[in-house]
Amino acid sequence: MAHIELNNELPGIRGLMAFRPETEAPLNFLAETLLRDDNNTLTRGERELIGAYVSYLNDCFFCQNVHGAMAGHYLSCDINQIDSIKQDFNTSDISDKMKALLSIARSVQKGGKQVTETQIEEARKNGATDIEIHDTVLIAAAFCMFNRYVDGLATWAPQDRDFYTNRAPQRALEGYQSSVYK
Amino acid sequence: MPHIDLPKDYPGIRSLFVFCHETAVPLCNLVQVLLHDPHPTLTAGERELIASYVSNLNTCKFCTATHSAIAKHQLGSELALVKQVLADPETAPISDKLKALLKIGAKVQLGGKNVTAQDVAIARGKGATDIEIHDTVLIAAAFCMYNRYVDGLATWQPDNEEFYDKMGAQRKREGYTPASINIKLDDQLRTS
C-alpha cells in the first residue's frame, strides 16, 4: 500500500502523476526529452537500456520492468536478454561504447563523484561524444530520482512481467506525455 | 576540470544548462514547480531547506551553497540558521513537521525503500499532509538527480559566498527560468 492516499488505482509512477498533475508535466517532459527525442545520436533503445540498468541497480521493480520492456521493444530482444545485460553487461552482446557508458551510469548511481577520468577516457576511446557522455550521466541521475520517487512513496507494481512488455509498443508509439493515464 | 567540454565562466549546473538547452528546459520547469511556484502549504523557504539538506547529504557543494542561499532569502533569515538545519535538524529552531519531513528526505537520499510507514506516520502526527509528504519525497529524489548531474560531470564549483548570496536574492525574485539562471559568475556578482 502506498504511503499516501493516491485516490486512484494506477501502478507505479503513474499513480503519483495522477495524484499530482503539477509535477507530472515537467517529469514527463524530462522523460520524453531524455528517452524519446530523436535529435540524439544514442538510439531510443540505448537510452532506455541505461534507464533500465540504473533502475535495476536501485532495485526499483516497476521502473526496471517498464524501461527494460521499452529497451527490449526498441532493440528487438526479449526480457531474458535484457535481464542478462543488467546482470553483466560486460559479457553481453552490446557495443564497447555502450559498455563504457553503462559503466559511467553505474558510477553515477553510487554518487556523482564516483565517475572517474579513466571511465570518461574509455568511453571516448570507444567513440562516445561529449553529448553522449552528458546524456548518459543525466539519464542515470534522472533514474536515481524516478526510482526514489516510485519506491519512496511505496507505490504498487504489477508482478506479472508480461504487463510491461505488452504495454511497451503502445508507449513507444505515443510517448511518455500522453500515455500516463491509459 | 569538467569531464566534458563545458562553457567557461558558468559555474555548476549553469554550465550544463548552457551546454545542453534541450534538457535545461524540463530541468528548470521541474525545479520551478517543486521549489518556487506557490504551494498549498509548504513555504518556498521550507522547500529550499529540503533541497539544500539533501544536497548536503550528497556532498554536492554547488547545490548545497546555492539552495542554502536561496533558503536564506526565502526565509528572510540568516545563513547561520540554514547551516544549523544542515548540521542537525533535530536541534534547529524549525517546526516539528519540518523536522519529520527532513527525516523522510534523508531516507530518500539513501534509497526509496528506506522510507518506512512509521516515518510517514510521524510526519502525519506532526500535521504533514499527503501532498507535503509527496512533495518532500519528490524534492529529495529530484536533488539526488541534480546533485549527481552536477558532480557526475565534474562541473566547476567555486568557493565564493558573495556569488551564492547574490544568486539567492535573484532566484527569490525571478524563479528558475533558463534565462534567469544562465548568467556568468562575473555578471552574477553585479546583480543586486
- Domain ranges for chain B, please list them: 12-188
Cβ-proximal residues to B98 (8 Å cutoff; 6+ apart), any chain: B46, B49, B89
What's the mean per-residue pLDDT of chain A?
96
Confidence of residue A177 (pLDDT cuts 50, 70, 90): confident
CA distance B112 to chain A (A): 4
Residues in B touching A112 (Cβ below 8 Å): 58, 60, 147-153
- Are the CB atoms for A137 and A108 separated by under 8 Å? yes
- Closest CB from A37, A111, A112 relative to B22: A37
CB contact under 8 A, B16 and A131: no
Confidence of residue A179 (pLDDT cuts 50, 70, 90): low
Nearest CA in chain B to A20: B131
Write out pLDDT tens, residues A62-104: 999 999 999 999 999 999 999 999 999 999 999 999 999 999 9
- Closest CB from B20, B112, B142 relative to A150: B112
Both ends of chain B: CA-CA distance in Å? 30
Specify the length of chain B in residues: 192
Write out pLDDT tens, residues B71-106: 999 999 999 999 999 999 999 999 999 999 999 999
CB contact under 8 A, A137 and B140: no
Q: Which set of grid coordinates corresponds to residue A14?
A: 503513474
What is the C-alpha separation between B170 and B73, in angstroms, rounded?
A: 9
Whether residue B165 has pLDDT greater than 70: yes
CB contact under 8 A, A151 and B58: no
For a pLDDT cut of 70, what percent of chain A falls above it?
99
CA distance A150 to chain B (A): 7
pTM of the model: 0.98
Q: Say what the pLDDT of residue A178 is.
A: 75
Q: What are the φ and ψ backbone dihedral angles of B72, each rounded to 5 degrees?
A: -55, -50
Write out pLDDT tens, residues A18-68: 999 999 999 999 999 999 999 999 999 999 999 999 999 999 999 999 999
Confidence of residue A181 (pLDDT cuts 50, 70, 90): confident
Whether residue B53 has pLDDT greater than 80: yes
Write out pLDDT tens, residues B138-150: 999 999 999 999 9
CB contact under 8 A, B115 and A141: no
> Is the ipTM reported for this complex over the cut 0.90?
yes
- Closest CB from B19, B133, B141 relative to A4: B133
**Alpha helices for chain B (secondary structure H):** 12-19, 21-31, 44-57, 61-75, 79-87, 96-110, 117-125, 130-152, 161-174, 178-181, 185-188
Q: Which CATH class is domain B12-188?
A: mainly alpha
Which residues 8-37 of A are in CB contact (within 8 Å) with B? 16, 19-20, 22-23, 25-27, 29-30, 32-34, 37
Higher pLDDT, A178 or B129: B129
Q: Say what the pLDDT of residue B72 is.
A: 98
Residues in B touching A15 (Cβ below 8 Å): none
CA distance A144 to chain B (A): 6
CB contact under 8 A, B111 and A148: yes
Give the domains, in start order, of chain A with CATH numbers: 29-174 (1.20.1290.10)
Nearest CA in chain B to A28: B26
Residues in A touching B150 (Cβ below 8 Å): 112
Q: How many CB pairs under 8 A join A and B?
A: 151
Whether residue B11 has pLDDT greater than 90: yes
Q: Say what the pLDDT of residue B154 is.
A: 98
- Closest CB from B133, B152, B153 relative to A3: B133
Whether residue A182 has pLDDT greater than 80: no
Q: What is the CA angle A53-B24-B38, rounded to 5?
A: 105
Whether residue B192 has pLDDT greater than 90: no
What is the C-alpha separation between A109 and A94, in angstroms, rounded?
A: 20
Number of other CB atoms surrounding residue A39 within 10 Å? 6
CB contact under 8 A, A152 and B152: no
Largest Cα span, chain A: 51
